[in-house]
Amino acid sequence: MSLPLTIAQRGLWVGQKIGATNATLNITEMLEVCGPVKPKLFMRALWQLTREPG
């Protein structure tokens, strides 16, 4: 099954086609953390997660 591109997807596609090879795709996500958190340890874990290859 084939679906049409969203406006955002189409914009990325057009950007790549016209030669904007350095186009960046940013994806955001939210996570609710319940309970006590050690901010320094939490930030360290987040930085490690974002640096590791997928």
Query: What is the CA angle 30-54-21, rounded to 5?
Result: 90
Give me Rg for the CA atoms of the chain: 17
Report the SS3 class of residue 37. coil
The confidence score (pLDDT) of residue 22 equals 65
pLDDT of 4 reads: 92
Tell me: the pLDDT tens digits for 8-52? 888 888 887 887 666 666 678 888 989 999 999 999 998 998 887
Determine whether 12 is exposed, middle or buried from the number of CB atoms within 10 Å of its CB (0-12, 13-18, 19+): middle
pTM as predicted: 0.41
